[in-house]
Amino acid sequence: MSKTLIIAEKPSVAQDIVRALTPVAGKFEKHAEHFENDTYVVSSAVGHLVEIKAPEEYDVKRGKWSFAHLPVVPPHFDLAPIDKAKTRLNAVVKLVKRKDVTQLINACDAGREGELIFRLIVQYADGAKAPLNKPVKRLWLQSMTPQAIRDGFAQLRSDQQMLGLADAARSRSEADWLVGINGTRAMTAFNSRDGGFFLTTVGRVQTPTLSIVVEREEKIRKHVARDYWEIKAGFAAAAGEYEAKWFDPKFKKNDEDPDRRADRLWDEKAANAIADAVLGKSGIVTEEAKPSNQSSPLLYDLTTLQREANGRFGFSAKTTLSIAQALYEKHKVLTYPRTDSRALPEDYVPTVKQTFEMIAKEDLPGPLRELAQHAKKGLKEGYVKPIKRVFDNSKVSDHFAIIPTLQPPKSLTEAEAKLYDMVVKRFLAVFYPPAEFMVTTRITQVAEHHFQTNGKVLVNPGWLAVYGKEAQDEDANLVPVQPNETVANEHISVNALKTRPPARYNEGTLLSAMEGAGKLIDDDELRAAMHEKGLGTPATRAAIIEGLILEKYMLREGRDLVPTAKAFQLMTLLRGLAIEDLTKPELTGNWEYQLAEMEHGRLSRDSFMKEIAKMAERIVRKAKEYDRDTIPGDYATLATPCPNCGGVVKENYRRFTCSGADGASEGCGFSITKIPGARSFELHEVEAFLRDKKVGPLEGFRSKAGWPFTAELRLVFDDEIKNWKLEFDFGDDAKNGEGDGEPVDFSAQTALGSCPKCKGRVFEHGSNYVCEHSVGAHVTCDFKSGKIILTQPVSHEQVHKLLATGKTDLLDGFVSNRTKRKFKAFLVWDEKEGKVIFEFEPRGAKTPAAKKTAAAKKVAAKKTAAATEE
């Protein structure tokens, strides 16, 4: 009897499919890696099971970071199993090849990446001599409720319909490989010419995104504050007092000077003269009142949801996506979250009414209960109708906007409830009438001087009622005046102010800029026009931001994203090499647009990939052929003088160098690298280093063999060269990390315990606790753990406990590299990972259903401590 194999993206989705199909297809029997009944075999991947790689003859050998092996532009890509997923891959491939399996259904996530996961598995299985030749259908789910899954099976898409998406998925993957491998290795080879190993990652999307942040930071640094003055006055009318601000009615906007405003004066004497002329005088009031309507914002797509959750709750883009995915996949209360659409299909009106009914009738938990009244009112007043701004097929791509499903939430964590509340409120509000205001502009004229007062009175809350705004705030009311009433000036003030630089990006504003390919766009319609030319996709933008932070190109300072010295150095290099492809967001955004065109069959895969290959070759050629000593750029002059002669120290691409007392000569020869141990100096660090002759301990260094380490840097005088030089203060760690050091004598120390890897003895050594067999001339083990991890000192007592029991006490002095916040954790030895990791305290569930087993909490809380990065 022939059967159909259904391949989901994750085991949990496979289980949901089995539950949904059981009532209509019969009971399934559970096996080790799949479920099966008389009709279906249901299995799943665990994300990507295979990865693309170049054919062996084109592959870049590990560790060969020279131009000799570049560029790498293979004629095709082979596939290789991902090491951690080999067991699952073999199980799925075995099912694909079963003779009784005559049809395949791709039930991976309904998007570009889900299409790729399935296609690569089938391609890998099809690598045998005899091709599979098994027909393929596509399950396309917007919601994970049982009925939605059954509806999806009733409307399976053909393989032919999915070929455009498959081409775009493969092209995206291969393009990222080509640009990433060639760009990263070329820039790393360039930066490592003077020795060492300075890993310099670049990417088709990550580098233009970084460029946006760096350009904003450059504007902030170059901003010169300008003094200006504002005049505020208080006037007494018959009904009471009101405030007004001076403005110039003849003002015209000047794009060349964006600091200029109608209410700013640039001369203090002129400002004081106006104040003197107005003080105590009478004026005439005129005002114009106009009704104004404000419609609800559109429904959420993923990027808008991430932006607003970041602004309201401080959630990172990654956190918002993770919560939304759980609400979709685990709780089944939201539709598919990885969407770029803010509209619904035109035939979805009945479903929306049913969703309103669910919200109105269900006893939702906690604060969500208050939303029932708004759903009831919406049904009673007939608000749900086919409105074009909500129901529009032309604005729905593969997925529609994020809305609640017909499944009521039973128990959500606090964070899940917050995000669900946001989506439900927006869903209800978009069908409510516009909010109605009366907007008043009042002009008070004293002689030739004009003052303006603006008032906005809420007449009818409309959709704002869903958000709890039923009445106008008291402080927004204006005292009434009569037409052409004469008012008296009571007081006036001249306020001295300074222009401010543009604000740094946070995750919300950066997501918006990525969506608009470098342009920060708040207007819904403009953003909609640009979204197909954005950087990355809604599903990938969070990962891009996290990747830039992981690679130390950006840091989180509170909610701000701040580029590091490494980021500036990369931008200087790419600009200096004239590799504009990797720095211009608009160009990369256009590539994303081309991928979208490919999805819809309007662009060939072959022509797109040819352009990407040309770009990869050009990147390598520019770096390889560059023959000057330094890269032109906007470099700093340090405030701290040369430690050797007191001259001026200036920055160039690779070094900080003395340039003599006049700042323009060869100087005394003092010079230090900008990237000791593959870690870029921040300007404030090098200033402190020259001033104090030491800095640290600092994290993020790497030895030539790639070992991460923490160390202090010292500036020491070398009698041989008669000048100062930089040295690491970490004992023999660097040599020992490479396994070619001198034998280490531990006879004067008492062992702290037995190595969990090889049972050798563990001692303190340099800035680490190490196995005796991991240092010296003959290295046979690699166990080591830092004496300081994320600023938390780890005492001998705690190391002894870790080695004896596998776990330290709860330590409370860790500081996250990413968020700069303190946190508490245990250090534990993970046998499977072969390293020391963090384990966090189990936290009590916010709602009853958030309870987990202790074991599940332990697994969920693990993070690697060996890399000292949270």
Give the residue numbers annotated as catalytic, written as ranges: 336
The SS3 of residue 634 is coil
Within 8 A by CB and 6+ apart from 684, the residues are none
Q: Which two tokens stand for residue 556?
A: 């989180």
Number of residues assigned to the chain: 870
CA distance 580 to 791: 39
Q: What is the CA radius of gyration of the chain?
A: 32
Return the exposure string of 254-276: e unless at least 16 CB atoms fall within 10 Å of the residue's CB, then b.
Answer: eeeeeebeebbbeeeeebeebbe
How many H helices and E strands in the chain? 22, 33
Cis peptide before 367 (omega within 30 of 0): no
Q: Which residue has the tokens 């197909």?
A: 532
- SS3 percent helix, strand, coil of the chain, rounded to 5, is 35, 25, 40
| Alpha-carbon 194 to chain mean position | 33
> In the chain, how long is the greatest CA-to-CA distance?
98
Angle 226-231-236 (CA atoms, 0-180°, nearest 5)? 170
The SS3 of residue 402 is strand
User: Phi, psi at residue 383, to the nearest 5°?
Assistant: -70, -30
CA distance 600 to 594: 10
User: Residue 419 in contact with residue 324, Cβ under 8 Å?
Assistant: yes
Sheet holding 649-651, edge to edge: 649-651, 655-658, 671-673
CA distance 674 to 681: 6
Q: Is the backbone of residue 487 left (phi > 0), alpha (psi -120 to 50) or beta?
A: beta
Residue (of 347, 298, 350, 300) closest to 328 by Cα position: 300
User: Residue 761 in contact with residue 746, Cβ under 8 Å?
Assistant: yes
Q: Is the backbone of residue 497 left (phi > 0), alpha (psi -120 to 50) or beta?
A: beta
Q: What amino acid occupies position 253? A: K
User: Residue 777 in contact with residue 740, Cβ under 8 Å?
Assistant: yes
Residue (of 636, 728, 633, 634) closest to 683 by Cα position: 636
Residue (of 315, 255, 860, 808) closest to 546 by Cα position: 315
Residue (of 804, 867, 816) closest to 840 by Cα position: 816
User: Residue 699 in contact with residue 677, Cβ under 8 Å?
Assistant: no
User: Residue 554 in contact with residue 563, Cβ under 8 Å?
Assistant: yes
User: Phi, psi at residue 379, to the nearest 5°?
Assistant: -70, -45
User: Residue 28 in contact with residue 41, Cβ under 8 Å?
Assistant: no
Q: What amino acid occupies position 235? A: F
Q: Which residue has the tokens 């640290």?
A: 696
Cis peptide before 71 (omega within 30 of 0): yes
CA distance 259 to 255: 9
Return the exposure string of 284-322: e unless at least 16 CB atoms fall within 10 Å of the residue's CB, then b.
Answer: ebebeeeeeeebbebbbbbbbbbbbbbeeeebbbbbbbe
Fill in the DSSP letter of residue 856: H
Within 8 A by CB and 6+ apart from 793, the residues are 787, 813
CA distance 122 to 159: 13
